[in-house]
């Protein structure tokens, strides 16, 4: 948990120095700097902004660097400085470190913001990141495999882009990369599939809380990005000509995806045509005269914007109890020494900090109430932003000692 947060020269936040609590509400008008405050915490945790990749976009105008510093409740300190010349300086307990994942482990953050609301409709990257966030924090072996896979993929893609006809030497090089990719791919898939399976019941529970009307209707599926019944290497070899034409690698872990399906057997709302339209597999259509038809399609096509926000919130929040429960299990397994794929943590894992931007947007009072009560049940520190102080009575209902901050033109004061 963050006890003290200091920010300098990040967007309109010139100097911020605040002492935070388990629940922190940041209130302010449009453009006052609320999201920038969450962005600062996210930057410290992940080494990048959730809004812009280029540091010069979030470093305050006419400044050379943006800095975020936090002291956690275990007295450890974390700091990041992003400089305009693209240099990043990271510190843990005043000592320079060179790997962002060290800070990520110390300060895991889970972000729910309006930009993630299109996650269901957009390309697969943000949905894949959703799963990978969980796998990263739960499986020690995942990150090095993922880094090695990305490195080889980059090399492969740059070769594919360079030339449509490979020399014998280039082909031999590509084959050796494919072997490496294939080995990493199998492990990455193994970790992802395992965590995905563990995650599903937590997701169902979260839906039952946040979207009870859809409890039986929403389900998740995981697509590995390639046919996992055979080695990736074999498939890459078979597809080489196509990849050369395209100039990039079309299959692999980097194409993995998570889908949320909506399923209904409500015959009264449907027609024969609806059933044909939405069922990709005609064999799964049932005879309308004998049984109720099963409709299955992407949840994004069915839900309202508010419902989508609750669904995405459920996807994210459902990861927290799994992570927190896993910590207990890890501890027990670690003692027995029976874990086949040990987690990185023999000591207690840091509890994630939840960043919730614009909490009231798209949600009605009932939904906000359910969301806050769900959040308050988790032992996580929360930073939430809101345009108005209308949510304060609810916050007081669910947290015993919340802190309220007011942001005005980049200056943050305790309410
Ligand atoms: N690099 C920068 N340097 C200085 N100011 C910046 C920079 N980038 C953005 N700003 C300003 O910082 C302010 C804070 O923006 P922020 O998105 O944090 O506001 P907000 O309170 O979340 O607003 P909203 O409620 O509209 O989402 C904006 O007025 C913006 O113009």
**How many domains are contained in the chain?**
2
Among 7, 8, 12, 27, name the best residue to mutate to test ligand 1's pocket (greatest count of ligand atoms within 8 A of Cβ): 12
Are 5 and 122 in a shared domain?
no
Q: Has 30 been labeled as part of a binding site?
A: yes
Tell me, using a 6 A CB cutoff, whether residue 24 lines ligand 1: no
Residues 317 and 368 in one domain: no
Claim to verify: residue 11 and residue 39 sit in the same structural domain: yes
Q: Ligand 1 in contact with 9 (CB < 6 A)? A: no
Atom of ligand 1 nearest to the CA of 357: 22
Please, what is the average pLDDT of the chain? 88
Q: Would you say the CB of residue 386 lies under 6 angstroms from ligand 1?
A: no
ipTM given for this complex:
0.98
List b or e across 292-319, with b for residues whose CB sees 16 or more CB atoms inside 10 angstroms: ebebbbebbebbeeebbbbbbbbbbbbb
Q: Which residue has the tokens 């009560």?
A: 373
Q: Which two tokens stand for residue 188?
A: 């990455």
Residue 331 C-alpha to ligand 1 middle, in angstroms?
43
361 part of a folded domain: yes
Last residue of some domain: 348, 364, 394?
348
pLDDT, one tens digit per residue, over 332-360 is 333 333 344 444 444 467 899 999 999 88
What is the number of alpha carbons within 13 Å of residue 83 lying toward its C-beta? 6
Judgement on whether residues 170 and 239 belong to the same structural domain of the protein: yes
**Residue 113 falls inside a structural domain:** no
- The domain in which residue 180 lies consists of 118-348
43 and 136 both lie in a single domain: no
Please tell me whether residues 210 and 197 are part of one structural domain: yes
Per residue in 183-239, pLDDT (tens digit) is 999 999 999 999 999 999 999 999 999 999 999 899 999 999 999 999 999 999 999
Under 8 Å between Cβ of 295 and 218:
no
Co-location of 185 and 92 in the same domain: no
Mark which of 321, 348, 375 sits at the end of a domain. Answer: 348
Residue 29 marked as a ligand binder: yes
Q: Domain of 245: which CATH number? A: 1.20.1050.90
* Beta strands at 411-414 and 95-97: parallel, antiparallel or unpaired: unpaired
Q: Does 190 lie in the same domain as 149?
A: yes
Length of the chain: 415
Token pair 């049984």 is at which residue?
A: 291
pTM: 0.86
Report whether 314 contacts 210 (CB < 8 A). yes
Residues 371 and 307 sit within 8 Å (Cβ to Cβ)? no
What pLDDT, on a 0 to 100 scale, did the predictor assign at position 116? 81
252 is in an annotated binding site: no
Residues 273 and 360 in one domain: no
Residue nearest to atom 13 of ligand 1 (CA): 31
Atom 14, ligand 1: residue with shortest CA distance: 33
Residue that terminates a domain, selected from 311, 328, 348: 348
């Amino acid at each position: 948990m963050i006890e003290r947060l200091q920010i300098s020269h990040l967007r309109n936040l010139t100097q911020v120095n605040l002492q935070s609590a388990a629940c922190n509400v940041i209130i302010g008008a449009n453009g006052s700097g609320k999201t920038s405050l969450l962005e600062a915490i996210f930057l410290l945790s992940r080494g990048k902004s959730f809004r812009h990749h280029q540091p010069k976009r979030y470093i305050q105008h006419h400044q050379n660097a943006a800095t975020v510093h936090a002291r956690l409740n275990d007295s450890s300190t974390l700091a990041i400085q992003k400089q305009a010349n693209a240099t990043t300086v990271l510190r843990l307990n005043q000592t320079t470190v060179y790997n962002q994942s060290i800070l990520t482990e110390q300060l895991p953050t889970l972000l729910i913001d309006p930009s993630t609301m299109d996650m269901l409709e957009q390309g697969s990257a943000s949905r894949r990141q959703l799963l990978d966030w969980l796998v990263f924090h739960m499986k020690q072996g995942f990150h090095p495999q993922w880094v090695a896979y990305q490195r080889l993929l980059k090399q492969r893609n740059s070769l594919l882009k360079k030339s449509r006809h490979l020399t014998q030497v280039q082909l031999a090089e590509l084959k050796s990369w494919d072997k490496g990719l294939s080995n990493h791919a199998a492990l990455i898939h193994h970790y992802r599939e395992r965590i995905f399976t563990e995650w599903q019941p937590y997701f169902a529970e979260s839906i039952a809380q946040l979207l009870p009307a859809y409890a039986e209707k929403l389900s998740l599926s995981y697509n590995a990005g390639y046919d996992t019944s055979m080695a990736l290497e074999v498939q890459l070899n078979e597809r080489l000509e196509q990849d050369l034409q395209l100039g990039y690698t079309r299959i692999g872990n980097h194409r993995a995806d998570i889908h949320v399906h909506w399923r209904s057997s409500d015959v009264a709302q449907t027609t024969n045509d609806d059933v044909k339209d939405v069922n990709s597999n005609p064999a799964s259509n049932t005879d309308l005269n004998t049984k109720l038809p099963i409709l299955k399609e992407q949840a994004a096509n069915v839900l309202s914007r508010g419902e989508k926000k609750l669904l995405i919130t459920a996807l994210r929040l459902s990861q927290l109890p799994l992570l927190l429960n896993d910590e207990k299990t890890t501890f027990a397994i670690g003692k027995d020494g029976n874990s086949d794929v040990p987690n990185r943590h023999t000591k207690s894992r840091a509890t994630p900090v939840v960043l919730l931007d614009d909490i009231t947007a798209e949600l009605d009072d009932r939904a906000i109430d359910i969301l806050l009560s769900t959040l308050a049940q988790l032992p996580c520190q929360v930073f939430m932003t809101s345009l108005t102080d209308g949510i304060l009575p609810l916050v007081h209902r669910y947290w015993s000692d919340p802190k309220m901050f007011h942001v005005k033109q980049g200056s943050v004061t305790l309410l």
